[in-house]
Structure 1
């Protein structure tokens, strides 16, 4: 027995159990049978055992450290619909992928709705700071916002797609140029000749006009008789759409909107018998159509991975030079295109 008093080893020797069993019994662990716990505690009293409060506190801290406490990352939602990331199929894969990566890395997503009544950018900065949140993810919105004035000095921040114009943050985005060039190549292989681009102005802007640029490059390699002018709409106008169909005479249209087939049906055209459709962002939105699978889950996961890396390296504040990580999509066949004869 130690000169400073009996210890766990002394109790274990007399009780005929291990030191760990004694430790668990003295903490009333449910892993030890009640009768064993009572016997060990009786021996401890008889030996005059008294725990060292400093050692007990230190061990409590060690045990707490072993409990995995997920660290928060801020997911900034500025959509007019508070539940956009659960209700909009075209957005939900981003947050699903981000949450999966958070779980893998020991983090969690805390969503903040920027349009909450009384919420301001200054107040949001204060909330994030008070909650000890060091990582911020800025997400795509409808309607779009151009500026976000947080106290960026405190945070490691990454933008999902080109969510805001200013400030310029590191971004993880679909490779728009690659995706549309892949689409145009696949459509040519399937025998389509007059490809009509039909996208909302917001999507054209988010792509930094890569869609229109790629289309011009593509047009340079085909006969003039097969070229069509793109329709960039804001907002959608069915009359304008009908006139575009009549003047440009596309045999296939490509775009982002999930109602393209519906619009063509209203115009008296059958898909794919009369005209084909290729979607440039299929993920969970129009999954059985033909077009590009953008890998939105992977984009969401990559955003989290970059933010966490920045936190680990204490890289907070606005970057001197914002980098863009491009994620290429993959072509998928679907019912909206006719099979190659």
Structure 2
């Protein structure tokens, strides 16, 4: 079965079939869907070698670049969050390299709903959708997904199930633990906000628990989290606007954390937020003199903080690669088997956790 045979069956020109199989914006959406279903029914599939060669042919005329949608739900999200700004830069750069342009759509705009946004994207023939990290979550986002190829960055949107780009949280914790052991730290403490426990599905806690399993009981330090964490450590389906208890910017009580660290005589604290460092110092904790400090999100820091760089630009770039790959294969709609791509992060050495001589504390 080739394009000309398929065109005869469909009763259209072979050029129309070619455009329909590529979801060309010059054709009505219904025509594209009808011809694509017919192609599937009759067993048509593009030849992979020919498709690859066609992508390398020079363009005779400059066509308007198709758009990809970046969906946000965070007030002034790029200015307020340098992490998100780097994600967007990675998306924008990679989209341009692949011949696309990126358009941002905010669910916080006046009168904006998931249904209205679906209509806007459909009218503009935008099929590729990247769901950027939300400030609150986990949430549900009910677009008319049958028209779109969707990819989520992070875990703030957990329903419906989409393809996803995410840091490898479990590996990141193991990386931090390995580096701290190499630097000579023994009593390693972990403090997390409820929001990060939900968004990581307790991957940080799981990796930390694996590390603590092999320690003598007297050297184990329980994970610190705020009081409401006990009922929120498992993801729950929520409406579009989640409650503030799972705000990504919500912080732990620094005075309580400082007291807990002293109680357990910790050598070093691992925390999920770089800004927590200043709050702990204001609470009277001497860092790194009294206790060392490591951030699990050390992508942006105003000083040389030790910790994990989550590589947000690479996350944005990977999201573009994933969504465009699905567009090229004409894979719109919710996936039967969502793919999760976990990106490797890296350790950033800093002044808050420096090498120390191994010492043995009295019990």
Question: Which TM bucket (shorter chain)?
Answer: 0.7 to 0.9
Question: CA 1:220 to 1:145, structure 2 compared with 1: closer, same or farther past 3 Å?
Answer: closer
SS in 1 for 2:166: strand
Q: Is the 8 A contact 2:184 2:355 kept in 1?
A: no
Deviations 1:199-232 (A, max 9, x none): 2111111111101111110001222222111112
CA distance in 2, matches of 1:207, 1:145: 11
Query: Within 5 Å, which residues of 2 pair with 1:149-188?
Result: 149-188=142-181
Deviations 1:146-182 (A, max 9, x none): 1001000000000001131110101010000001001
Q: Is the 8 A contact 1:98 1:304 kept in 2?
A: yes
Aligned to 2:85: 92
CA distance in 2, matches of 1:198, 1:174: 19
Q: Is the 8 A contact 2:72 2:107 kept in 1?
A: yes
Structure 1 vs Structure 2 CA RMSD: 1.9
Q: 2:66 aligns with which of 63, 71, 86?
A: 71
Aligned to 1:334: 350
CA distance in 1, matches of 2:146, 2:131: 15
SS in 2 for 1:278: strand
Q: 1:207 aligns with which of 200, 225, 250?
A: 200
Aligned to 2:25: none
SS in 1 for 2:152: strand
CA distance in 2, matches of 1:251, 1:215: 15
SS in 2 for 1:103: helix
Q: 1:126 aligns with which of 82, 94, 119?
A: 119
CA distance in 1, matches of 2:153, 2:355: 35
CA distance in 2, matches of 1:195, 1:326: 25
User: Which consecutive aligned stretches of 4+ in structure 1 deviate over 4 angstroms post-superposition?
Assistant: none
Aligned to 1:311: 327
SS in 2 for 1:245: helix
Aligned to 1:42: none
SS in 2 for 1:338: coil
CA distance in 2, matches of 1:287, 1:300: 25
Aligned to 1:322: 338
Measured after TM superposition, the shift of residue 196 of structure 1 is 1.3
Q: Is the 8 A contact 2:304 2:351 kept in 1?
A: yes
Aligned to 2:217: 224
Query: Within 5 Å, which residues of 2 pair with 1:21-40?
Result: none
CA distance in 1, matches of 2:134, 2:118: 19
Q: 2:308 aligns with which of 262, 276, 292?
A: 292
Q: Is the 8 A contact 2:254 2:280 kept in 1?
A: no
CA distance in 2, matches of 1:104, 1:216: 42
CA distance in 1, matches of 2:301, 2:179: 21
Q: Is the 8 A contact 1:69 1:106 kept in 2?
A: no
Q: Is the 8 A contact 1:89 1:285 kept in 2?
A: no
SS in 2 for 1:211: helix
Question: CA 1:306 to 1:246, structure 2 compared with 1: closer, same or farther past 3 Å?
Answer: same
Number of aligned residue pairs: give it. Answer: 277
SS in 2 for 1:91: helix
Give the TM-score taking structure 2 as reference length: 0.73
Give the TM-score taking structure 1 as reference length: 0.77
Q: Between 268-277 and 107-116, report the one with greater CA deviation.
A: 268-277
Measured after TM superposition, the shift of residue 68 of structure 1 is 4.6
Unaligned runs of at least 5 residues, structure 1: 1-62
Deviations 1:7-28 (A, max 9, x none): xxxxxxxxxxxxxxxxxxxxxx
CA distance in 2, matches of 1:286, 1:156: 37
Aligned to 2:191: 198
